[in-house]
Structure 1
Amino acid sequence: MKFECSIKDARLDCVVISDHNISRPVFCTSGITRMTVIHGGEQVTQTGSYIEVQLPDLIEEVPYTFSLGYDGYAPANRAWMPLGPYLRTGDGGVIQLPPVRSGFHPVPDEPTTSFSGLKLIPQPTHWSPTGQTVLVNSYSCETDAMRFVAALAERQNQGPFLRPDGHPVIMETADLPHDAYTLAITSEHITMAAGDAGGQFYGAITLLMLLQTHKGEIPCGTITDTPRFAWRGQHLDCARHFYKLETITQLLDLMALLKLNRFHWHFADDEAFRLQIECLPQLWQQTQMRGEGHLVPAIFSGSPLAGGSYSKDDARTLIAHAKTLNIEVMPEIEVPAHALALAQVFPDTRDPDDVGSERSVQGYTANVVNPAMPRTWDILEALAREVGALFPFGLLHLGCDELPIDTWMGSPTAKALMAEEGLETTQDLQGWTMSRLAQTVVKNGQRPAAWEEAAQGKNAGIGHNAVLFSWTGAASGFAAARAGYDVVMTPAQHVYMDMAHTDDIDDWGANWAGYVSLDDTIAWDVIPLDEPELVKHIIGVQGAFWSEFTTQDAQLWPMLVPRILGVASKGWQSRDITPADLHSLATDFTRIWRA
């Protein structure tokens, strides 16, 4: 079987060459967003970006051409080509077609200047060199922090980090801020001072990276280093693509090398719920796999059947691994929208008399649970209790993004609830819903978190000391901070690493928020220059990676590295790094990571 696809005149021209005769074939595939048939076939069915197209009988070795397009979009690059294409034959068989060439492997631009300071990302707060250097091939120090970093170095082929005859490191306790440390590097020994385990860990990380980037010839002097923000995060969407546990632990290792300390684990969305909870086992059992013969078709899949789920022991393993890296794990359960899988498993979370016609931006209908249905609260409260209790960090992300316009406006039960509560709009009812669920989270002894839309509604939104994540742009984060919410800044135009790097048609990624280059990751203000008082509510920075077009774990790394270096810089450094210096340092770091 042969399958080829090319982008031409805002359409996808597809060619199938079969190695045998096939009667009544149906072409099945997914794209980045909702697709349409332009010519050469007839649409059979569609769910979001997944589409089935009836083709005529295929004749052995005779090419057949048909064309697909996107509703309202022009395909930007190879990531927009058919994902996981396959044929369903007239007799019910399945034939997987060869995938189109996938993934993008960017190489940082060659730096035009050489960086003369310490080769560290993020850069330290202050560096006072003596002008001398010391040859070091390992260190000698027996503390938990140094042992944790030694294990990290071994896993990443950057060891040995500790040896009995290594350069001596003396640990001291000092009155320093959380995660802060100092290093006094001399030819005789290194003195590290910190006020907590986090500071010791990051001091050890700095020693490891100096060993790698300076190739064993470490500059002598004093490093004083304090993070700008308490929250320095990275998000991963494991709902659209199931990442192996080893891949996620490797991501945590990468985060630790860059002094990132919050992992946002997104395992629930329209397409799947992947955590093996006990209160509602049918939720993950019926959605963990997508494709032929399953409740959810092969949306965003690389094959006719794909997926998986994470056991509670998997989650505990991940949490324990993160703990050794000074990283906390925050789970997300994603409601009331982005709940297609949940609503299909539990249809009684929706009003059967709802005559509304809302559609999500991904092209889904009926992907929102209804807060006026009693079953909705049985499920949401059970989810909040069990998922929240599993994660000791104590922060539970509830979702609340991209609610379709006019949701619930065709539901009699929702309209009755709105009248009872004095609510007028979709946003009012959303805010009421999130506030009620947040109250449950607080009663469970945890703190709620949500996307920026949770602040909407005349009832002031979610409340309950919730942490909000600003994603549509920096301005929405500033507005939430002004309203008194603690905010993590995650603007898509700068830190969404599923965006394509460039507008090159041979690139890879989405582009709805724009093209995000390495330079773009640092070209923004986390706190508005004219409102420095917002520092008390803007608590951090976080990168995001959504997996709509990721069908293999390996496709993650060239999208994250080197752009995650910009996220790390914005989260830690009190001053911005220049694009030239970032490119210079990215070259060294990318070489080390890929090795």
Structure 2
Amino acid sequence: MILFPKLGSIDMQYSCHISGDTLVCLIQTRRALSAPVFCFSGIAPYDVISGGTLLTSVGGYTEIALPDLHPDTPHTVTLCFEGGFTPANRAWMPLGPRLKTDGETLFLPATPVGRSAPPQPDPRPVNGLPILPQPCGWTPANGHLSIDGLSFDDAALTAVADLATRQGMTFRGTHPINLIAGDLPNDAYEIDVTQTAITITSASYGGRFYAGVTLLLLLQHGPLPCGRITDTPRFDWRGQQLDTARHFYEPATILRLLDLMALLKLNRFHWHFADDEAFRIEIDSIPELWQQTALRGDGHLLPGIFSDMAEAGGTYSKSDVQRIIAHAKHLNIEVLPEIEAPAHALAIAKIFPDTRDPDDTGQERSVQGYARNVLNPAMPKTWEILEKLALEIGSLFPFGHLHLGCDELPEDTWMGSPRARALMAEHGLETTDDLLGWTIAKLARTVANAGLRPAAWEEAQKGNNGGIGNNAILFSWTGQGPGLDAARAGYDVVMCPAQNVYLDMAHTSDPDDWGAGWAAFVSLEDTVSWDPVPDPALANRIIGVQGTFWSEFTTQDDQIWPMLMPRMLGVASMAWQSIPPTPAELTDLATHFSYDPTSGLKLR
């Protein structure tokens, strides 16, 4: 496809297509351009096969010197990805392509971004109630109860009513609800509907809230069916993660995500606001960190990585954080903040170079293509930064948990650092993994001593000292195997295998689809085609399931919704139901749901 925009006095033609393992970009202008530089961002570092000379590469952000462009003469630039990545779909094409020449920046027509969701089929008949997650037990009785809505004086049901209003649904009315306190597990509930009355039995705010959500969804179908619902969640931890470091989402978008989570009975929001590219929360202890990473692009600390604009970004104020926490709490959701240590720290290392050993001769490089993006635990500045971050962020979030990161440490990190090697000798450490485990355990002790429970990605169990320890929760992301190992070692584990619940993965192998593909193409059916607890002996250690969304492919907030939905329906089912639906049952149930950020979750 070739597009023809008018840019000032210049007519430009530009196209890009996938050809095997390469990307072929065609540029044509109707005015001579002297020594233009082709600039863009992408998912991973690029190599130039032909058509230009690589000038700059910071992760996927790339600048390529082109020869002089002559009028009406096509010029081809052929690219490939470092590390053997094969472009899976149009999301892998250059983002924000533009030419810099003679003091001008000329934006080229970009590949249309985001997923084009296919039309939904007509709703299909289901066994049971047309809601997700399905309740654990449903015993139908004769008849229906036709009402205009529900009348109550209860904080949890008021939260459901507020949620309904935001979703454009009806919940409040004149029919009273009977509330009974019962001896039930946390978040569990029972609902009895007769032809004259509705009774909710629960022992907690969460139980009443989720009973209300179930009634809200059923009310969208018309008269309530008479019968008895008994419902208890399988896991205490039912999560959804969002990466706001690679892309800054407006606070209103995060609030909408929390609403969607609540409708699906998810109760943990894992907020990933810090990474190589940015630290998004406006903290007092290290203001340089957010001030210098708020924006990426020309003239900033980092160029326009993962962006289709010359400048993009933002930060969350403390009032934004408080608003998000309060909104979540109203919806029975706790917020887990995450800082990143010791890797994924490119911005910190650039702002505070004394977090690195100046004599380090190592050549480690992250999978995202960043050099020198790891803090050195032998440097005092590293601990000054990490302890300030941990303590201030921990104090902002009342959940009492803090995720420390600890993933994707490049191979052989610190092995070229004399200071790190001396630290290893002092503590009897032999490998990179040993020093990683020692480092994250030390940071976890600081967190635990502050009264917080540490959490980390699966790599935190590595090392000859037993890993992070300190009663930490580990999140297993590369697959289930590391999570099972961690559970056997005595850790509590949240399962989030990329092959099933990484919702930034493309839905299909279609080259016109959108998203990553390094782990798998993740369909709706894949989200329930696995068992979070394959070994019953580990049931007491596997505490939850969590969906994950990384934002390397996201350039605009509204791109998130067709990526998350309908697959969040499967994540929610795995997290709540003791016996999740089969892929076929889930597919049938999903036809009853549609989601739009403007109109909200709808039952069809």
TM-score norm. by structure 1 comes to: 0.96
**Paired residues of 1:48 and 1:364 also in contact (CA < 8 A):** yes
Secondary structure of 2:145's counterpart equals: strand
The aligned counterpart of 2:303 is 297
Contact 1:17–1:62 (Cα < 8 Å) also in 2: yes
Structure 1 residue 387 corresponds to structure 2 residue 397: no
* Alpha-carbon separation, structure 2, partners of 1:587 and 1:581: 10
Instruction: Report the secondary structure of 2:54's partner residue.
Output: strand
Query: Do the aligned residues in 1 keep the contact of 2:123 with 2:592 (CA within 8 Å)?
Result: no
Task: Report what 1:133 is aligned to.
Answer: 144
Structure 1 position 585 matched with structure 2 position 595: no
Unaligned runs of 5+ in 2: 1-11
Equivalent residue for 1:162? 172
Report the alpha carbon displacement of residue 295 of structure 1 after superposing the two structures with TM: 0.8
- The answer (yes or no) to whether the contact 1:244–1:553 under 8 Å persists in 2 is yes
Counterpart check, 1:171 vs 2:179? yes
Equivalent pair of 1:108/1:587 in contact (CA under 8 Å): no
Which AA in structure 1 matches 2:254? Answer: I
| 1:61-100 to 2 correspondences below 5 Å | 61-71=72-82, 72-91=84-103, 93-100=104-111
Q: Deviations over 1:264-284 (max 9, x none)?
A: 000000111111111000011
Deviations 1:453-475 (A, max 9, x none): 00000000000000000001011
The equivalent of 1:514 in structure 2 is 520
Q: What aligned pairs does 1:141-220 form with structure 2 within 5 A after superposition?
A: 141-158=152-169, 160-163=170-173, 165=174, 167-212=175-220, 215-220=221-226
CA spacing shift, 1:585–1:112, aligned 2, 3 Å: closer
| 1:567 and 2:571 correspond | yes
Q: Which residue, 554, 559, 567 being the options, matches 1:550?
A: 554
Residue by residue over 1:4-36, the C-alpha shift from the partner in whole angstroms, topping out at 9 and shown as x without a partner, is 211123211112233644322111111111111
Alpha-carbon separation, structure 1, partners of 2:120 and 2:519: 23
Instruction: Verify the 8 A CA contact 1:83 1:549 in the aligned structure 2.
Output: no
Q: Does the 8 Å contact 2:565/2:595 carry over to 1?
A: no
C-alpha distance in structure 1 between counterparts of 2:148 and 2:242, whole Å: 35
Q: Deviations over 1:452-509 (max 9, x none)?
A: 0000000000000000000010111111000000000000000000111111111111
1:524–1:87 Cα change, 3 Å: same
Structure 2 CA distance, aligned partners of 1:211 and 1:89?
A: 60
Give, in whole Å, the separation in 1 of the partners of 2:561 and 2:49: 34
The partner residue of 1:503 within 500, 509, 525 is 509
Q: Give CA deviations for 1:222-257 in whole Å, capped at 9, x if unaligned.
A: 000000000000000000000010101100000000
- Identity of matched residues, %: 59
Quote the offset at 1:60 in angstroms.
4.6
Where does residue 499 of structure 2 map in the other structure? 493
**Is 1:541 aligned with 2:545?**
yes
Task: Measure, in 1, the Cα distance between the counterparts of 2:570 and 2:114.
Answer: 21
**Equivalent residue letter for 1:522:** V
Match for 1:408 among 388, 407, 414?
414
Whole-Å Cα distance in 2 between the matches of residues 157 and 308 of structure 1? 30
Question: 1:538 corresponds to which letter in structure 2?
Answer: I
Residue 111 of structure 1 deviates from its aligned partner by: 7.6
Unaligned runs of 5+ in 1: none
Return the alpha-carbon distance in structure 1 between the equivalents of residues 233 and 30 of structure 2.
60
Partners of 1:508 and 1:223 in 2: CA distance: 39
1:173 to partner: Cα distance: 0.8
Q: How does 1:242-257 map to 2 (within 5 A)?
A: 242-257=248-263
Q: Is the 8 A contact 2:561 2:595 kept in 1?
A: no
- TM-fit CA distance, 1:520: 0.4
Separation of aligned partners in 2, 1:27 and 1:373: 39
1:33 aligns with 2:44: yes
CA distance in structure 2 between the aligned counterparts of 1:299 and 1:16, rounded to whole angstroms = 22
CA RMSD of aligned residues (A): 1.5
Verify the 8 A CA contact 2:124 2:591 in the aligned structure 1: no
Contact 1:111–1:583 (CA under 8 A) maintained in structure 2: no
| Paired residues for 1:221-260 under 5 Å | 221-260=227-266
- Is structure 2 residue 316 aligned with structure 1 residue 310? yes
CA distance in 1, matches of 2:237, 2:154: 25
Q: Report the CA distance between 1:142 and its aligned residue.
A: 2.1
For 2:214, the aligned partner's letter is T
Specify which of 80, 103, 109 is matched with residue 114 of structure 2.
Answer: 103
Moved over 6 A (4+): none
Aligned equivalents of 2:62 and 2:130: distance in 1? 49
Q: Which moved more, 1:567-576 or 1:81-90?
A: 81-90
- Code of the residue aligned with 1:197 in structure 2: it is Y
TM-score normalised by length of structure 2: 0.95
Relative to structure 2, which stretch is displaced further, 15-24 or 376-385?
15-24
Q: 1:346 to 1:591 in 2, by over 3 A?
A: closer
Aligned residue number for residue 8 of structure 2: none
Distance 1:258 1:328 in 2: 15
Displacement of 1:391? 0.2
Query: How far has the Cα of 1:558 moved from its partner?
Result: 0.5
Give the CA deviation at 1:137: 3.5
Residue of structure 1 equivalent to 2:29 = 18
Q: 1:78-102 deviations in whole A, cap 9, x for unaligned?
A: 11011122222232x3223222112
What's the CA shift string for 1:108-161, capped at 9, x where partnerless?
A: 774896203101111111001003222234212121111111111111112x31
Q: 2:365 aligns with which of 359, 363, 368?
A: 359
SS in 1 for 2:360: coil
Which of 475, 480, 489 is the equivalent residue of 2:486? 480
